[in-house]
Amino acid sequence: MKFRFLLWMLGLLMGKASRTNPAFQQQLGDKDLVFQLQTLDGKVARHFVVKGQRITSKSGVVAEPAFAIAFKDAAYGFATMQAKNKQLAFMQGIQDKSIQLKGNPALVMWFQGLTKYLKPKKAKPKA
């Protein structure tokens, strides 16, 4: 349940950033593709549509995504995406086959670069 909620929130955050953040829009460039994040069994899946410098997302799988990141299960996917050092968590997961990548690995790297724009802004300390 937590993983499904996390993917839904990721869709909301990327959708908002694609409408309001010029740096995020620049990263989207002229890409026109669909990617998905899911569990290996496909029970929890969400696909993200990138088109016209906008991102929308829908529940479920698509037949031919440009790339897919599949986690061994929902709990593992949630833990990996919440890890302090996400890059290390992803690399370890790929090495031990807990995470499987399908499609273009360069696009996976592009997606990981997008996520840096989704961090919450730090509150300014009160004087």
pLDDT in tens, 49-62: 999 999 999 999 99
Crossing angle between the packed helical segments 74-82 and 2-20, to the nearest 10 degrees: 40
Q: Look at 73 and 42; give whichever has higher pLDDT.
A: 73
Per-residue pLDDT, 125: 60
pLDDT in tens, 25-36: 999 999 999 999
Kindly state the average pLDDT of the residues 98-104: 95
- 0.95 cut: is pTM over it? no
Residue 86, CA distances (Å) to 61, 89, 90, 123 in order: 24, 5, 6, 23
Per-residue pLDDT, 28: 94
Per-residue pLDDT, 122: 57
The mean pLDDT value of the chain amounts to 91
Per-residue pLDDT, 115: 85
